[in-house]
Amino acid sequence: MRRTAATLLMLHAARALRCAPLRTRRTLALRSTQPRIYDAPTLYDAAFGFRDFEDEVDFLCAAHEKHGNTGGAPSKILELAAGPARHAVEASKRGVDATAIDLSEAMVKCGTQIAKEEDVALDYRVGDVREALPFDKVCSAWLLLGSVGHLLTNDDALQCFQNARKALADGGTLILELPHPRETFRVDGVSEDGWDVPFEGGDLRVRWGAEDDVFDPLTQIRQASVAFEADGTSITDVVPTREYTLQELRLLSKAAGFREEVATYGALDPEFVAADDDELAYRLVVVLTA
């Protein structure tokens, strides 16, 4: 399989997100407020707009059809912590009943506007994935772009997984996308400090992670420094992020009521890249079945 330009940029971004050297010490406190970057949905959407959402939704639907049991491709999906909700919008274009939820009102407004511009239906709600979800009979739920890392404790993750399980139809799937273990454990030593994307006639410089970021080895929480910089605009913040292992996710999903069998892949690629493919795998995709 040949890598496209978009795939190479995604690999570059993935390495930037996870490979910066870390300063290790105990985290003194966890912030309770939402990071500022999520109040800038236009910049956030541009920062990750290079992703091939058509291909990724092809994979998500095919993965559900392969591992789920709701009668074929999903007829109803739920994008969790959806941000601009590009995956849900793409699913809606295909006639799927698309729903989404996010903690940020700004992101919900952005995703709703994108759906309106694309002339598709999207039921997008403001809400916390750690609380009961206002949806049911969902065929496939998606928690993507490493958003599982915002669930900082085991209780947070377990509540999210349990709520997703309750929202799913029997045989439904919960699909997670997060950094590849090679990045989490720094097996891949390539270090990048960011990436550039086109933005309003110029460039948007994205930095996610820096050399002096603090990592707490006991909580597995990294204080990731983030910056969005464009002409006349600059937003900087620190985003606490939990680094999960596959073994932890297996245990949490089993405790939440999902089946013991867990499928893993190395990218949101419709060709089903193996998670242990040294050349093509650059993300960890986990498929859980209810």
Q: How confident is the model at residue 26 (pLDDT cuts 50, 70, 90)?
A: very low
Question: pTM here?
Answer: 0.90
DSSP the chain: -PPPHHHHHHHHHHHHHH-S-EEE--------SPPGGGG-HHHHHHHTTTS-HHHHHHHHHHHHHHH--SSSS-SEEEEET-TT-HHHHHHHHTT-EEEEEES-HHHHHHHHHHHHHTT---EEEE--TTS--S--SEEEEEE-TTGGGG--SHHHHHHHHHHHHHHEEEEEEEEEEEE-HHHHTT-S------EEEEETTEEEEEEE--TTEEEETTTTEEEEEEEEEETTEEEEEEEEEE---HHHHHHHHHHTT--S-EEEESSS-TT---TT-TTT--EEEEEEE-
Q: What is the pLDDT of residues 69-110, one digit of tens each?
A: 999 999 999 999 999 999 999 999 999 999 999 999 999 999
Please give the pLDDT value at position 264: 98
Q: What is the pLDDT of residues 106-162, one digit of tens each?
A: 999 999 999 999 999 999 999 999 999 999 999 999 999 999 999 999 999 999 999
Q: How confident is the model at residue 201 (pLDDT cuts 50, 70, 90)?
A: confident
